[in-house]
Structures are given as structure tokens and as C-alpha cells.
Amino acid sequence: MTNISANTRRFPDPPPFSVGNLFFPCESAIPREIHKAVWGALEMYCDAVIVRNEPWPGWERFERELAFQFATLLFFLRALPKENNRHRVLDLFLDSLNFVNKRGRAHKAKRQLWYFHHGEAMSALWDQELQAVWNMKKSLEVTGAPIAPRLKKAFSEDLVRAVLARKSTPESSLAEVYAGRRHLSRGMARNALREYRKESGKKFAAQT
């Protein structure tokens, strides 16, 4: 690299697009021209880190979004209890990048990863909020105490409404709450949860 004073050195501008969903699927399609441009941006980023031990000035968002996607992949792998399931997620991830042009394969892999991404988020919602509602409901059923007033006093409206719905189950209520908060259809949330359960083996049930 040519030695130029810090005041006159010209740094490459950061990419004008977000890479936050380029390597993991999202609801909206990513334009093809952005997919092509990102590989050039990755090369510039890696060159900067190799030469300067840090990204170019102004590239902090690019680096943060890349790091977040890598962390997401690690969390996905950690959530799976069996080696063959972890291999499957890695295969889906590679297929979704579409390095080799195989018709339909990348689209299917992106959809399955999208399901798994939302399934992981629903699992966190269950652990952090919804399981406590079901635990209290089951406990109140055992004691014969009024259920609705106690739940409404302790939990948010959307959680209580989903748990008290007719024919509600832990999974149906989880999909309903998640769909409402993420502005997804209930069907998409249910499909995502079903795929996540198949891969992770996690069970959603009250503990009393």
C-alpha cells in the first residue's frame, strides 16, 4: 500500500446497501445486482483487515452485519442436539448461497432456513414469556381457581388472549403470538415452528 498521509488518503466508500440478510434469508427478495456486488465488497473488507488489521473507516455497519449473521449461524448450530441435524443446517446454508446453479435448490434452502430462523425466535419467545403463562394456567386448572382474571393480571394481553383461545395448545398459541408481533401470517408461523421442531426436537409444554 502506498504511504500517504492520513489527511490525504482516500478510503473506499462502504457499500451503499445492507448485507444484513444476504447470507440468511429474509421475507423480501434481495436484488441480483446486490448479490453480485457483495462479493466485491467482501474482498475489499478482507483486504483491509489483512493490511490494516481493521476495516476501512465507515465500514463499521458492514462488519457488524457480517458478524451478526455469523453469530446467527453459530446459534442455529448450537440449538441442534444431533450432529446430522447440524450438518443439514450447514448444507441448507451452503445451498442457499447458490454457488452452483442448481434450479430450485437455493430457493428451497432459503425457505427452510427462513423457517428455522423464525423457529429459533419462537423458541426464545416460549422460554422467555409464553411458558410461564401456560404453567400458571395449568396450575390454576388443578386448583380450580379462576383462570382468566389471574392471567390478565400477570401477563400481557396478546399472551393471555392466545392461551385462552378455544382449542388453544402451547404450539398454536406460540405461533399466534409470534405472528402478531412479527406481522406474519399464522400459517407461516405454524410452518416455521413445525420445521423447527423437526430439526431441533424441542417440545413446547407446560411445566407444573
pLDDT of residue 26: 55
Instruction: Report yes or no on 50 lying in a domain.
Output: yes
Residue 46, domain member (yes or no)? yes
DSSP H or E segment with residue 66: helix 60-79
Tell me, yes or no, whether 120 lies in a domain: yes
CA atoms within 13 A on the CB side of 36: 3
Residue 55 belongs to domain spanning: 32-79
Task: Report the pLDDT value the prediction gives residue 84, as an integer from 0 to 100.
Answer: 84
Task: Let me know if residue 131 belongs to a domain.
Answer: yes
- Smallest CA-to-CA distance from 30 within 15, 9, 12 is with 15
Indicate if 118 and 177 belong to the same structural domain. Answer: yes
Indicate if 124 and 184 belong to the same structural domain. yes
Question: What does the pLDDT read at residue 30?
Answer: 55
The answer to whether residues 195 and 115 belong to one domain is: yes
Cα–Cα distance measured from residue 196 to residue 151, given in angstroms and rounded to the nearest whole number: 28
Q: In this structure, are 115 and 189 located in the same domain?
A: yes
Indicate if 68 and 115 belong to the same structural domain. Answer: no
Q: Determine, yes or no, domain membership for 67.
A: yes
Q: Are residues 69 and 140 in the same domain?
A: no
Residue 166 lies in a domain: yes
Q: Clarify whether residues 59 and 120 are in a common domain.
A: no
The structural domain count of the chain equals 2
Q: Are residues 129 and 166 in the same domain?
A: yes
Identify whether 165 is part of a domain.
yes
Q: Is 118 found in the same domain as 63?
A: no
Cβ atoms of residues 204 and 172 within 8 Å: no
Tens digit of each residue's pLDDT (9 = 90 or more) over 49-103: 888 889 999 999 999 988 888 888 888 888 787 888 888 888 888 877 766 556 6
Residues 6+ apart with CB under 8 A from 156: 129
Question: Are 56 and 130 in a shared domain?
Answer: no
Shared-domain flag, residues 191 and 117: yes
Looking at residue 25, what is its pLDDT? 61
Asked if residue 27 belongs to a domain, the reply is no
Determine how many CB atoms are found less than 10 A away from the CB of residue 54.
11
Residue numbers of the chain with a pLDDT score lower than 70: 1-9, 25-35, 98-105
Same domain, 49 and 125: no
SS (H, E, C) 113-144: HHHHHHHHHHHHHHHHHHHHHHHHHHHHHHHC
Q: Which of 59, 79, 99 is the last residue of a domain?
A: 79
